[in-house]
Amino acid sequence: MFQAIVDGDTTQSSSAKRVRKSVDVTVKFAGICADLKEKSDVLKDTPMLACITGGYNIKERLRCINELKGFGAACYVIEGFHTNGESATNLLWEDVEPVLTETLVSLPENLPRAFHGPITPIVLLKLVSKGIDIFDATFPWLVAERGGALVFPNSLSKENVPVTETLPSVKAPAVVATDQKVAKFADDNSSDEAVDRVYEINLKDKMHNLHHYINFFKSIQQAIKDNELQALQSKLDLFVSSRRN
């Protein structure tokens, strides 16, 4: 499979003009890629992933979906909510959820949906509950790059023990949560974006986190089969609350 090129670097603060441009350019790229696919003996039978952009503007997202009809997409990638890196880890679900819900309702139910970026495990589980099927492994990579090891509960097993280590490299909250929004924590090594490191412990050297993360996805698959996704979500919520307290 391959993904059509996308202009998805938009956030909640992006202007209406910037959001419109992201849709226009994304649709243009998708058309070019679909045309190349049709004319290529190598790619003609290869599934193409089309990207849905539009930032936090529901009207623009619906326009993007409508414009992409006819390109024969095998999967839709939900883009445009963040600019990757730490901006993805700072997504607030209450901002994403209404836009995402309207977007997903307008997509074909029989095609998979993907969401890229190093989003936090709590947001990831909420995306799963909304019908997102495919994610990438950039979150464990990002944690390893900043010298962290994942310790959040990655299953419903009762073998998990409480983590008593203090939060790694974290100063006092830079923003106080007064309206149920997640407080952003400042990282000692970054002056650009606040970093929330509640899901990890700190290490002096990099560590491989893919094993922990892959087991998390195995647990998600099993929880869906057993109708226990909410139980997994509750366990993770409790872990995050205890770490912040």
pLDDT digits (tens, 9 = 90+) for 200-236: 776 654 486 888 899 999 999 999 999 999 999 999 9
Contacts of the segment 90-98: beta carbons below 8 A, 24+ positions apart: 90/182, 90/184, 90/193, 90/194, 90/196, 91/119, 91/120, 91/123, 92/181, 92/182, 93/122, 93/123, 93/126, 94/180, 94/181, 95/12, 95/56, 96/123, 97/126, 97/130, 98/58
**Residues 30-56: tens digit of each pLDDT:** 999 999 999 999 999 999 999 999 999
Q: Can you list the domains of the chain with their CATH numbers?
A: 2-136 (3.20.20.105), 147-244 (no CATH)
pLDDT value, residue 92: 95
pTM value is 0.81
Contact call for residues 112 and 134 (beta carbons, < 8 A): yes
Per-residue pLDDT band at 153 (split at 50, 70, 90):
very high
